[in-house]
Structure 1
Amino acid sequence: MIEILSSTALATVQDAGRLGSLRFGVGTAGAMDQLALAVGNLLLGNPAGAAALEIPVYPFQVRFTEDCAFALTGADCQARLDQRALAPWWVHQARQGQVLTLDLPLAGSGSRAYLALAGGIDVPEVLASRSTQLRGGFGGLDGRSVRQGDVLRAVRPGGEPAVDFGVLPPAIALPLIRDGLPAVRVLPAAEYACFKEDSRAAFWAGAWKITAQSDRYGYRMQGTPLVPIEAMEIRSHGIVPGVIQVPSGGQPIVQMRDAQPSGGYPKFGTVIEADLWRLGQAAIGSRVRFVEVDYEAAVVALDEVQVWRDEVGRMIDLQRWALQRI
C-alpha cells in the first residue's frame, strides 16, 4: 500500500471510467489518458482498466508501506525511488519504507502521470467503477482527491518481484504534430455548418491555447472567436467527452472526462476517441492544433490505436515470459 506525503496533490483514483450510466445523468469520469492507464496496468499484469492514481500536480510524493510492484506511465516526471532515478513507462519494485518522488514533467512528455500498483488500487466500486467523480462526490477515495496522510491499498502487494522492462510511450510511437504543436483530430458536429465560413476556417488554421479555467470537466480554449451565422438557441441535449461546445463568447469548450452528460451550447465538433488521450496530456497554458477528419478516418485512427495497444500487450507478455525463464 502507499501513503500520500504531498499536501496539495489534487491526484485522484481513476480507472477506465463509469460506462453505461449516462442515461441516469452520471458522467463517465475515468483516466484523462486512457492509454497511459492501460499500459501501466498491462506492465503489471493487471486488467487494462484497473484503478490507478492520476497525478496532475507536482512535486508529488508517496511512501510504500509494504513491498509492492508498481508502474509509471504518462508524463515523464523524472521519478526517483529514494534517490534512484526511474525510467518512465516502466515497471519497478518498491520496498517497504521507500519514497517515490515525481518532479515537474519534462517538456513535451505530457502533463499527467499515472501510478499503477500491483493488482490495481483497492477502493470500493460505485456503479461498476472505482473512478473518482469529483462533482458528484463519489467513487475513488470518498469521492475526492487524495490528501496528505491518505493510505491506498494495492489489490495484491508483495508477491513476486516486478520484472524490469518497459515500453515506448505512445506520443513517440503514434506522433501527431502540426506546425510544431501537438494536434488532435476533430469530426465536425451537428451545428458546425451554423458558424460563419471564416470562423470555421480559422478553427482549423490557428493554434488554440488551453486556458487556466480548464480542468477534468472541460478545457476552455482561447483563439479566434467562433461566430455563428445567426443567434442560436437549442435545447439541452446529451453530450460525451470530446464534444466541442461554443458559448456565446465564441471561445470553445472541449468536454473532458468529468463532463456532465448534457448541455445546451451549440456543438462545433468532437475530438475523436482515438485522440482524447492526447488532449488529456496537454498542459494548461499550452497550445494545440485541431485537424479536421471524416468518420472513416476517425475509425481508422481508432483501429491504429487498438493495434498499437494489442502489440504492446503481446510484447509485455513475451518479455514477462522470457524474463521469468531466466
Structure 2
Amino acid sequence: MIEILSAAPLMTVQDMGRSGNYRYGVCRSGAMDRVALAIGNALLGNDENAAALEIPMPPVRIFFRSEINFALTGADCVATLDGSPIPPWWAMRARAGQVLSLAPPQTGSCAYLCLEGGINVPEVLGSRSTQLREGFGGLNGKPVSPGDRLDAVGNDVILPPGGLGAVPPRNALALSDWPGITLRVIPAAEYDNYTAASRDAFWSADWLITPQSNRAGYRLSGPDLTLTHPLELRSHGIVPGVIQVPPGGQPIIQLADAGTMGGYPKIGTVIEADLWRIGQARAGDRLRFIETDYGTAIDALEAVKQYLYDMRRQTALLRKAARRWEQV
C-alpha cells in the first residue's frame, strides 16, 4: 500500500483505457503516454493493462506503507527514495516506511508510478482508468489527493537486488535531432478543403502548445488555417490523435479524454505510434508535423510493438535470473 503525502494537480489512476464504448458516448481515457505505462508494467511483470498512477507535472511525495516492487517511467523527475537517487525508467523494491519524492520534470510532463500487479481499484466498463469529466473509474472518479491510500494487486515477481531498467523510448524510437516534438500525421477528411497556403503552413510551421491544453486536447498556436470556402459539418465520431480546426483557425489535437463526437473540420490525424510523444508534451513546447501515409503508420506501430516486445523479453530474463539467485 502507498499513501499520498503530496500530490500533483489532476494526478489520477489510469490504465490503457476503456475501449468499445464510443457508441455510448464514453471516451477512451487511459494513460496519456501508453508506451511509458506499458514499460512500467513490463518491468514489474504486470499485465500490460494494469493500472498505475499518472503524475502530471510533479513534484509529489509518496509514502510506502508496505514493502513493494515499483517502477517509475515517463517524465524524468529526478526521483529519490529516502534521499537516494533513482535512475529514470527504473524498477526496484521499496521497504515499508520509505518515501518516494519526485521533483519537477526535467524532460516530459507525465510520470508513471507502477506497483506490483497494478493499482487495485474497481473496474468500470472494463477499465480502471479515471474519467474526471464523467466522474467514474479510478479512485471514485476523482484525482488522487494527499491522504489517499492505494493498494496494489500484488504478484510474486522477484527483481534483481539493484533493480532493472529500460532504454527510454525517446532514444529507442527517436525521429529527428530537432529539440522539439516531431509527430507523424496522416491528412484527414477535410484536408483538401484548406487553402494551399494553409496546407503548406500546417507542415512547415513550428506549432506552440498553449496553456489552454489538458487531457482532452492540446490547443496549438501558429499560422491561421483557413478553408477555401465555408464548411458546415454534422457532428461525427473522433478519436485520440485527430487534429480539428475551430473557426479561429488554430488547431486542437484530440487526446485521451477527448469527446467522442465533434463537428469541426479535420486537417490531419497524429498516428497511433506517436501519441505517446504528444502525451509527454507541455505548455510552451513546440511541435512539427511530418506528412505520412497509412502504410508508414502501420510500420511505425509495429516498431513500437517490437520495442516493447524486446524489452519485455529482456527484463523477463533478468527477473528469472534474479529468482534463481535467490533460490541458491
Fold-level match, TM-score > 0.5?
yes
Q: Distance in 1 between matches of 2:23 and 2:272?
A: 20
Matched, 1:115 2:113: yes
Alignment of 1:160-239 (within 5 A): 162-163=159-160, 164-177=163-176, 179-239=178-238
Counterpart of 1:193 in structure 2: which amino acid?
A: D
In structure 2, do the counterparts of structure 1 residues 160 and 257 end up closer, same or farther at CA, with 3 Å as the change threshold?
closer
Show the counterpart of 2:34. 34
Q: Kindly state the Cα deviation for residue 94 of structure 1 after the two structures are TM-superposed.
A: 0.8
SS in 1 for 2:232: coil
Moved more, 148-157 or 123-132: 148-157
Counterpart of 2:267 in structure 1: which amino acid?
A: F
Moved more, 176-185 or 273-282: 176-185
Q: Kindly state the Cα deviation for residue 50 of structure 1 after the two structures are TM-superposed.
A: 0.5
Unaligned runs of 5+ in 2: none
Q: Distance in 2 between matches of 1:99 and 1:180?
A: 34
Q: What do the CA deviations read for 1:193-213 (whole angstroms, capped 9, x no partner)?
A: 000011110111011111000
SS in 2 for 1:241: coil
SS in 2 for 1:319: helix
SS in 1 for 2:278: helix
Counterpart of 2:121 in structure 1: which amino acid?
A: V
Q: Distance in 1 between matches of 2:157 and 2:169?
A: 28
Matched, 1:150 2:116: no
Q: Distance in 2 between matches of 1:178 and 1:143?
A: 40
Unaligned runs of 5+ in 1: none
Counterpart of 1:129 in structure 2: which amino acid?
A: S
CA contact (8 A) 2:158 2:323 kept: no
Matched, 1:251 2:250: yes
CA contact (8 A) 1:3 1:149 kept: yes
Q: Distance in 2 between matches of 1:214 and 1:235?
A: 25
Counterpart of 2:136 in structure 1: which amino acid?
A: F
Q: Distance in 2 between matches of 1:288 and 1:105?
A: 19
Q: Kindly state the Cα deviation for residue 165 of structure 1 after the two structures are TM-superposed.
A: 0.9
SS in 2 for 1:5: strand
CA contact (8 A) 1:176 1:182 kept: no
CA contact (8 A) 2:73 2:88 kept: yes
Deviating above 6 A after TM superposition, structure 1's stretches of 4 or more consecutive aligned residues are none
Show the counterpart of 1:66. 66
CA contact (8 A) 2:224 2:248 kept: yes
Q: Kindly state the Cα deviation for residue 161 of structure 1 after the two structures are TM-superposed.
A: 5.2
Q: Distance in 2 between matches of 1:150 and 1:259?
A: 27
Q: What do the CA deviations read for 1:97-142 (whole angstroms, capped 9, x no partner)?
A: 1110000112xx3111000000000000000000000110100001
Q: Distance in 1 between matches of 2:178 and 2:13?
A: 35
Matched, 1:138 2:129: no
Q: Kindly state the Cα deviation for residue 224 of structure 1 after the two structures are TM-superposed.
A: 0.6
Alignment of 1:11-90 (within 5 A): 11-90=11-90
Q: Kindly state the Cα deviation for residue 160 of structure 1 after the two structures are TM-superposed.
A: 5.9
Q: What do the CA deviations read for 1:67-107 (whole angstroms, capped 9, x no partner)?
A: 1110000011100011110011111111111110000112x
Q: Kindly state the Cα deviation for residue 162 of structure 1 after the two structures are TM-superposed.
A: 3.3
In structure 2, do the counterparts of structure 1 residues 160 and 233 end up closer, same or farther at CA, with 3 Å as the change threshold?
closer
SS in 1 for 2:71: strand
Q: Distance in 2 between matches of 1:173 and 1:96?
A: 34
SS in 1 for 2:296: helix
Q: Kindly state the Cα deviation for residue 7 of structure 1 after the two structures are TM-superposed.
A: 4.7
TM-score by length of 2: 0.96
CA contact (8 A) 1:30 1:257 kept: yes
Superposed CA RMSD in Å reads 1.2
Counterpart of 1:32 in structure 2: which amino acid?
A: M
Show the counterpart of 2:273. 274
Q: Distance in 1 between matches of 2:83 and 2:290?
A: 42
Aligned identity (percent) is: 55
Matched, 1:10 2:10: yes
Q: Distance in 2 between matches of 1:202 and 1:243?
A: 18
TM-score by length of 1: 0.97
In structure 2, do the counterparts of structure 1 residues 257 and 160 end up closer, same or farther at CA, with 3 Å as the change threshold?
closer
In structure 2, do the counterparts of structure 1 residues 247 and 20 end up closer, same or farther at CA, with 3 Å as the change threshold?
same
In structure 2, do the counterparts of structure 1 residues 178 and 168 end up closer, same or farther at CA, with 3 Å as the change threshold?
closer
In structure 2, do the counterparts of structure 1 residues 113 and 8 end up closer, same or farther at CA, with 3 Å as the change threshold?
closer
